[in-house]
Amino acid sequence: MKLALVTGSTHRLGAAIAARLGEAGYSVALHASHEHAPDPELESRLSAAGVRHHCFVADLSDERAVAALVPDVAAHFAAPVDLLVNNASLFASDDADSPDMAALVDHFRINGAAPMVLAQAVAEGAGEVGAAVVNILDQRVRHPHRDQQAYTVSKQALWEITRTLAVTLAPRVRVNAVAPGLTLPTDDYGEAQMARLARMMPLDRLPSPDDIADAVLYLAGARSSTGQTVFVDGGASLKSFDRDFVRLGRD
């Protein structure tokens, strides 16, 4: 049995990643920060594929909850975690010239510290064949802009954490990252705006959730790769945007 733990996986991008891994043969430990029902489509895909799965609740801003998550998953499935996907993140808007201390601490705790601690826990419990970690970044780490600065710098920290863990956890654990572009718009985006944003990309398209999930699955099995980041963003990281996408391409 191969076991994957995907944080923030009951809805949106995390759910797409979890479903893809389940369909590829993994048993899946879902994760949410609080009690709620997983996305019905996710449940349907996992059930249709006969995937063994269970949802764990852990507040990733809570040190004790983070410390308990990997052992709880391993105990429930009676197996070590083979793949950790650090997908959960805090994304809060701060339009001031600079974020305050509280915003920085909140973002770094969830987007940087928790993924690092979880990866170390996976390494400690890894079986004989080792394990893999895939961190979910954001294409903006390459060309940051002025919006959501606390979020941005926390993702940049996770980018460097990826490289550091690739060194410190080798050779038994491989650590890589996927940096998505705009994938699942929120209600702040309009349909025409999304079409215009797609045309701004070098590939004239935006990535789909399946594109991101496929990249995660590839890195999960890429036995000779560690410390690498795959940008899945329609080419957005090749350009520099001065504002967040939600502010661009509007009517």
* Annotated catalytic residue within 26, 151, 189, 218: 151
Measuring CA to CA, how many Å separate 215 from each of 17, 150, 233? 9, 26, 11
Look at the alpha carbons of 131, 137, 143, 148 in this order and tell me if their dihedral is positive or negative: negative
**Catalytic: 218?**
no
Q: Report whether the peptide linkage leading into residue 80 is cis, meaning its omega lies within 30 degrees of zero.
A: no
Element holding 179 (H helix, E strand): strand 173-180
Cα–Cα distance, 49 to 24 (Å, whole number): 9
Cα–Cα distance, 79 to 27 (Å, whole number): 10
Note whether 60 and 53 are within 8 A (CB). Answer: no
216, 227, 215: which is closest to 175 by C-alpha?
A: 227
Note whether 149 and 99 are within 8 A (CB). Answer: yes
Look at the alpha carbons of 61, 130, 133, 215 in this order and tell me if their dihedral is positive or negative: negative
Note whether 202 and 139 are within 8 A (CB). Answer: no
Q: Active-site residues: which are they?
A: 151
